[in-house]
Amino acid sequence: MERAGEKSTPAAAAEEERRWRWREGAVTYAHLLLYIALSSGQIFFNKWVLSSKQINFPYPVALTLLHMLFSSVVCFALIKVFKIIKIEEGMTTEIYATSVAPIGAMFAMTLWLGNSAYLYISVAFAQMLKAVMPVAVFFLGAAAGLEELSCRMFLIMSVISFGVIVASYGEVTISWVGVVYQMGGVIAEALRLTFIEIFLKKKGVKLNIISMMYYVSPCSALCLFVPWIFLEKPKMDSSGSWNFPPVTLFFNCLCTFLLNLSVFVVISRTSALTARVTGVVRDWVVVLFSALIFADTKLTVINIIGYAIAIAGVVGYNKHKLKVGTSPTASSQSNSNHNNPESSQDVQIPLVPPKEAA
């Protein structure tokens, strides 16, 4: 505050602006680091729970089912019991059946197949295979009329695919069962993102991450309950060697929920593109640290070269999406898209948000 009789000079105003931007930038980067830490930690946590001799809980469907049940209960408590968060209007039975249910089913498949892959392949190799995600999203989007085919995008997709092939060729011990699980998870995630984009553009419903989890989590839990009953419950009943540490599994579910919240916070402060670029950094962190943590991870030079090629393609894909998101034809959709963290339409938002007027 200014003292009586004093006037703010341009230099003082500039200094105040500089300090504010430094503080906001520091907070934003802190959120990005938190997202990287939570996301990387959750990947390692799931691998440890599923394959560790100490935990010995090799049931990915059951673990994913617990995640969805936990998310459903927490979202219900926040929205209906404590009324901390208000869900948006516009959800109907028809929209839920035709849009939310497919999203929930694909989300369940993504988590189930992705976690199952950790039983057969290393964390590092799983992340390398995930780099092919933009390829699957692009071709499914093109089939649904959401993406335009172009020579530039075809080149980018070719670079990503070539990098993943090289990285796979350099894998020392490869399990094709794990590869099938992981690629199935990639396709399911690509379908989920495509369904979300159709949901947003054609249905016109806007949901924040809590509202989305409130609607999607119970559906995903139901989709996971059926395969759990037939595939894993008989094994769990007949095997007496597995452990069920309640405290460990509670914190595992809590970390998953906090990770989803961190994604919402990051996108709220920056943009969907920044979150995806941060995800690229996260992937490198996971690949490098998994080589130090897990004995089944042995990185080769070919692994690293192939993954670097794939990541270069992913960066090119993100840059292309940024240009599309800031083009004149996309600017008319900015207001409806930037409020939704699941939208695949990128809106360029400064890393430091604009300063509000006093």
Residue 283 lies in a domain: yes
- Specify the pLDDT at position 338: 39
User: What is the chain's Cα-based Rg?
Assistant: 22
Helix axes 133-143, 301-325, angle to 10 degrees: 40
Domain total for the chain? Answer: 1
Check if the beta carbon of residue 284 is closer than 8 Å to that of residue 124: no
In a domain, 202, yes or no: yes
Helix axis angle, 101-117 relative to 60-76, nearest 10°? Answer: 140
- Average pLDDT rounded to a whole number, residues 286-310: 83
CA distance 210 to 126: 28
Report if residue 136 sits inside a domain.
Answer: yes
351 within some domain:
no
Give the mean model confidence (pLDDT) for residues 145-169: 85
Model confidence over 38-50: pLDDT tens digits? 989 999 999 888 8
Q: In this predicted structure, what is the pLDDT of residue 321?
A: 72
Is 358 a residue whose pLDDT tops 80? no
Least confident of 11-15, 17-21, 316-320, 350-354: 350-354
Q: Could you list the residue range(s) of the whole structural domain that residue 223 is in?
A: 24-235+243-337
Higher pLDDT, 93 or 263: 93
**DSSP secondary structure, 168-234, as one string:** HHT-SS--HHHHHHHHHHHHHHHHHHHHHHHIIIII-----HHHHHHHHHHHHHHHHHHHIIIIIHH
Residue 220 lies in a domain: yes
Band (54; pLDDT cuts 50, 70, 90): low
pLDDT top residue among 224 and 317: 224
Which pLDDT score is estimated for 273? Answer: 57
User: How does residue 272 score in pLDDT terms, banded at 50, 70 and 90?
Assistant: low
**CA 112, chain centre distance (Å):** 15
Residue 2 lies in a domain: no
- Residue 83 counted as domain residue: yes
Of the chain, the percentage scoring pLDDT greater than 70 comes to: 80
CA 222, CA 229: separation in Å to the nearest integer? 11
Question: Predicted confidence band at 204 (pLDDT cuts at 50, 70, 90)?
Answer: low
Which whole number is the average pLDDT over 209-214?
83
- Kindly state whether residue 147 falls inside one of the protein's structural domains: yes
Residue 32 in this model has a pLDDT that exceeds 70: yes
N-to-C CA span, the chain = 11
